Amino acid sequence: MTDNANQAQPDEYDAPWKVILKGYFKDFLAFFLPQAHAEIDWRRPAEFLDQEFSRLVPSSESKDRRVDLLAKVWLLDGSERWVLIHVEVHGNRTAEFEERMLTVQYRVRDLYHRPVVALVILADEETHWRPSEYRDEMWGTQLSYRFTSVKLLDYLNRLPELEESDNPFAIVTLAHLRAKQTKRQPQTRYAQRWQITRSLYRRSYSREQVYNFCRFIEWVMALPDDMERQILEELKVFEEENEMSYMLSAERFGMEKGVLIGEQKGEANVLLRLLQRRFGQVPDPVKAKVTDAKLESLEAWTDRILDAKTLDDVFAN
């Protein structure tokens, strides 16, 4: 078969990464920062500090295509540590990146007086962009801040390791890399996605794990609608032939997708009503922007309405 011109939804990486990070934080650290994983007391669940992080980095400073996560963990010696996870999806080749990492570090120390371990996952496609340190020096005064960074592209030279690993983030990494490699190549992506999905069944994962990581794969390796239906039907047959039942049928996926679409429409309607009450008649271009927006954007814009002085303030980056 040759690649066709049918278009899938635009690739999305930030939202699926954040969902899978929160759901499998222990596995994430075991894969990308094993030293930290070994020293953490996992009998005490990690706490995600979303509210605290929002104070550190207001929405006006945040940008699309990045994932930030701040978590509280306890070490085996009983002490508390905070861990900052940053996933950069589309490289930002400027000095501001390193400075931003430093800014979050000193804001945590200033506001909360907590030591912070930072881990950056560079999930972009810029081979030579590898930020890991902020330095500033003048007249004998020097400021240096180093953080751990992992370049996902490096795993292209370690594909057998990803395919053999039992850690689910090997699958996450492989799916992310294959998604980047198969942009605008639906037939190639279909084959790669089917291969990765089947590999989940060869691992000793629970039903919930298989389902959640299949969702991640579906999310980052989006296909045109007709191919989505085809691969889901193929998966359903595969389960039946192998006497498996992970509830990964097309009906369940379709139901959840319908629920998500319903949530988006509902949030969009609420936002439009609030905008009209606050600023009067909403221009048609703004209505179109809201109607086509993703759920995360709608929620962020809704949060800004109370503090916004103008309509433009609501949608400012």
pLDDT tens digits, 120-136: 988 888 888 888 898 98
**CA-derived radius of gyration, the chain:** 21
Segments making up each domain of the chain, as ranges: 1-248, 255-315
- Name the band, by pLDDT with cuts 50, 70 and 90, for residue 60: very low
Q: Distance (Å, rounded) from C-alpha 98 to C-alpha 304?
A: 27
What's the pLDDT band for 310 if we cut at 50, 70, 90?
A: confident
H-helix segments, 33-167: 34-39, 50-56, 95-112, 159-164
What pLDDT is attached to residue 260?
Answer: 54
Q: What are φ and ψ of residue 121, in 5° steps?
A: -100, 110
pLDDT over 80 at 159, yes or no: yes
- Cα–Cα distance for residue pair 115/124, rounded to 1 Å: 28
- Comparing CA positions, the residue from 106, 22, 117, 111 lying closest to residue 79 is 117
> Most confidently modeled of 19-33, 197-211, 213-227?
19-33
